[in-house]
């Protein structure tokens, strides 16, 4: 079943098991016309609806007997017109691929396809904005890593202009323990092992992995910090942060309270 309005097309694909049984709907389809198609004559719009339906449901229809219900009986004579427009000739060539029969069906009886071709627009179309200010496109605030000044000095020999003279001297003194290997900064620790420096944003996830993950074991703060070092990672406050993380671990605190109660004298 196909139908066309002034601005849209509608189609319903259905199937009957027997001629006497009702139609079982398989699929619905509809679309709007472009400005050029809206200038077609009424009969051309109805034929366009049939072409749209055959193209949309092509995989279902090839090799089968097809009956198209439309509310314009003149379509059958338009297809036989010898001096048709080039556009109609192209459509007729498409229709010849199918075993097709067009039957007239009044609009009142073709209500589903008629409704699909006349669905009201829900809202007005809004223009697409393809330009975005940078502050809206990338509005992300990232904390400066603790090793930013050392990294800049090791990589480019530049010191922060606003830093005091004592702070600059400390950066120069500490820089001999650091190695820049793009994109990471590494530190030569006191045990002669080179470890990768990680930013503050990753500290909590590293402690979570080394303490609470399935392989973490919920060990104490010192052993958790040692495990971080064994993973080849470094930041200046490893042991202090590991102690704070251990102190806020619910499972460790509950286990500690239970152990203390078991050790109490009766």
> Mind listing the domains of the chain with CATH numbers?
2-118 (3.30.420.10), 177-256 (1.10.340.70)
Query: What is the C-alpha to C-alpha distance for residues 57 and 1, in angstroms, rounded to an integer?
Result: 12
Backbone angles phi, psi at 217, to 5 degrees: 85, -5
On the question of pLDDT at 260 being above 50, the answer is: no
Q: What pLDDT is recorded for position 257?
A: 42
Write the CB contacts of 225 (distance below 8 Å, at least 6 apart in sequence). Answer: 238, 239, 242
Alpha-carbon gap, residue 219 to 212, rounded angstroms = 9
Quote the DSSP letter at residue 160: -
What pLDDT score was predicted for residue 185?
Answer: 93
User: Is 195's pLDDT higher than 50?
Assistant: yes
Q: For residues 155 and 152, what is the distance between their CA atoms, to the nearest angstrom? A: 5
Mean pLDDT of the chain: 80
pLDDT of residue 118: 56
Q: Minimal CA–CA distance to 251: which of 217, 215, 203?
A: 217
Structure token digits, residue 60: 């279902």
C-alpha distances (whole Å) from 127 to each of 119, 124, 130, 131 are 22, 10, 9, 12
Longest dimension (CA), the chain: 111
The angle formed by the CA atoms of residues 182, 184 and 190, to the nearest 5 degrees, is: 125
Say what the pLDDT of residue 22 is: 78
Mean pLDDT of 217-232: 89
Q: At what angle do helices 203-211 and 238-247 cross, to 10 degrees?
A: 60
Q: Are 246 and 211 in contact (CB under 8 A)?
A: yes
Assess whether pLDDT exceeds 90 at residue 235.
Answer: yes
Whether the full predicted model's pTM is greater than 0.85, yes or no, is no
Cis-peptide into 41, omega within 30 deg: no
């Amino acid at each position: 079943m196909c139908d066309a309005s002034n601005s849209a097309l509608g189609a319903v694909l259905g199937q009957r098991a027997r001629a006497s049984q009702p139609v079982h709907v398989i699929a619905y389809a509809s679309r709007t016309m472009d400005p050029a198609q809206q200038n077609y004559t009424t009969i051309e719009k109805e034929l366009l609806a049939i072409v749209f339906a055959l193209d949309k449901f092509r995989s279902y229809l090839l090799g089968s007997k097809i009956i198209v219900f439309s509310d314009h009986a003149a379509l059958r004579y338009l297809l036989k017109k010898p001096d048709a427009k080039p556009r109609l000739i192209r459509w007729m060539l498409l229709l010849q691929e199918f075993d097709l029969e067009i039957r007239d069906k009044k609009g009142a009886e073709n209500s589903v396809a008629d409704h699909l071709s006349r669905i009201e627009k829900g809202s007005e179309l809004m223009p697409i904005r393809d330009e975005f200010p940078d502050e809206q496109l990338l509005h992300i605030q990232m904390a400066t890593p603790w090793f930013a000044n050392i990294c800049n000095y090791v990589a480019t020999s530049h010191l922060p202009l606003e830093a005091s003279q004592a702070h600059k001297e400390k950066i120069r003194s500490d820089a001999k323990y650091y190695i820049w290997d793009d994109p990471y900064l590494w530190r030569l620790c006191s045990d002669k092992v080179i470890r990768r420096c990680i930013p503050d944003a990753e500290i909590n996830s590293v402690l979570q992995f080394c303490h609470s993950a399935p392989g973490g074991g919920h060990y104490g703060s010192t052993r958790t910090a040692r495990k971080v070092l064994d993973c080849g990672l470094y930041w200046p406050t490893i042991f202090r942060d590991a102690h704070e993380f251990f102190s806020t671990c619910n499972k460790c605190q509950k286990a500690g309270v239970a152990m203390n109660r078991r050790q109490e004298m009766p």
